[in-house]
Amino acid sequence: MRHALLVTGIGELTVNDPQAVDDASRPEPYADAAFVVEDGRIAWLGHAFEAPAADERLDVAGRAVIPGFVDSHAHLVFAGDRAAEFSARMTGTPYSAGGIRTTVAATRAADDETLRGNVRRLIREMARQGTTTVECKTGYGLTVEDELRALRIAKEECDAATFLGAHVVPAEYAERRAEYVKLVRGPMLDACAPYADYVDVFCERGAYDEAETRLVLDAAKARGIPVRLHANQLGHGPGVRLAVEYGAASADHCTHLDAADVEALAGSPTVATLLPGVEFSTRSPYPDARALLDAGARVALATDCNPGSCYTSSMPLCLALAVREMRMSPGEALRAATLGGAAALGRTDLGHLATGARADFAVLDAPSFLHLMYRPGVPLVHSVWKNGTRIA
């Protein structure tokens, strides 16, 4: 039996209509909006006085409603924490990609239930902060068995699962890098392929160079699995160029770009995913979001939630940083955290609330989404709905 829920009393509704050529820095002019949820989708949207009859009514009493956040970059399958490393970093030790090995050891030693419990805890934490879609990568197993179990957990618990066997080279292969790359692109990818929505490579000094990255991307392409890349985080490198060349869904980090990188992203469907929580947590310079936006590149914002370089699950924090530190307008930031993330995951039904979209939305304890940046650090998420069902 169909059940129609009418959401009304909305103080300000951000629809993010992907068709609308509106000024992204301002919310849509919906001051008296309402919408109907049916079968997990937005079935109707318009002015409240025109709303059709419904089985149930949800009056949000003047609160703002936004599409749920699409967190398109997270690493949730791990054990242990690296608070001591964070403390050392804040008192002078620079961040390097090698710290990942600490988490690899803890993750390998953990049982499945510990790993799954950790993922669920983080997804609940994300939901309470307005996130309704989560992408999750592997990369802390780095053996065929450990990557496979991480990817299966990610696939079962999250909305998109990404195989990141090429995260770092594990310690036992330090002197045999080529052998490890062969394992990743061969037996490991064979085992993981049935569960992999994407294949990712950490293309970075201290992780994988251009030739190694190409080998893994070629293997993914040969199996028909779409790719995404960790690119240009710690310094300028070939990552963004490769992402565009391979038609990657996204190039993530984009902290160190030259003019050619910006131009390449602007002229391609590859989404530039910015992760300002990492720069905040590693005390590093932020990416040039303005250059990307002004050139016309598609931009997403995500948390990169992971135990090393950025252990936040908070999209509102990332929005505040994007506006305060990267000079994105509040409207641009919200769009990047919703519609941008959806684009990075190849989803047209997420990140907006037009008729037909999935009914994923957050109700804010504020009259406008602007309060997400205007009141940083304040828990403003009142309630969260995914597929038309309340999850937080």
Which residues in this chain contact Zn ion in the complex, by CB under 5 A?
304
User: At closest approach, how far in Å is the CB of 207 from Zn ion?
Assistant: 11
Comparison of 135 and 304: residue with beta carbon closer to Zn ion: 304
**β partners of residue 166:** 201
List all residues 6 or more positions away from 380 whose beta carbon is below 8 Å from its beta carbon: 316, 364, 365, 366, 371, 372
Comparison of 14 and 255: residue with beta carbon closer to Zn ion: 255
**How far is Cα 134 from Cα 233, in angstroms, rounded to an integer?**
21
What is the phi-psi region of residue 109: left when phi exceeds 0, alpha when psi lies from -120 to 50, beta otherwise?
alpha
User: At closest approach, how far in Å is the CB of 152 from Zn ion?
Assistant: 20
Comparison of 146 and 304: residue with beta carbon closer to Zn ion: 304
**How far is Cα 363 from Cα 377, in angstroms, rounded to an integer?**
17
User: At closest approach, how far in Å is the CB of 136 from Zn ion?
Assistant: 10
**How far is Cα 341 from Cα 336, in angstroms, rounded to an integer?**
6
User: At closest approach, how far in Å is the CB of 75 from Zn ion?
Assistant: 6
User: At closest approach, how far in Å is the CB of 276 from Zn ion?
Assistant: 13
| Pairing verdict, β 4-8 and 56-59 | parallel
**How far is Cα 288 from Cα 110, in angstroms, rounded to an integer?**
39
User: At closest approach, how far in Å is the CB of 162 from Zn ion?
Assistant: 9
User: At closest approach, how far in Å is the CB of 284 from Zn ion?
Assistant: 14
User: At closest approach, how far in Å is the CB of 202 from Zn ion?
Assistant: 7
**How far is Cα 327 from Cα 273, in angstroms, rounded to an integer?**
15
Comparison of 304 and 332: residue with beta carbon closer to Zn ion: 304
| 222 sits in which H/E element | helix 210-222
Token readout for 390 is: 């309340």
Residue number of the CB closest to Zn ion reads 304
Check: CB of residue 283 under 8 Å from CB of residue 90: yes
Comparison of 14 and 313: residue with beta carbon closer to Zn ion: 313
Comparison of 275 and 343: residue with beta carbon closer to Zn ion: 275
In the chain, the amino acid numbered 362 is: A
Comparison of 131 and 383: residue with beta carbon closer to Zn ion: 131
Comparison of 97 and 297: residue with beta carbon closer to Zn ion: 97
Chain centre distance of CA 221: 22
**How far is Cα 60 from Cα 76, in angstroms, rounded to an integer?**
32
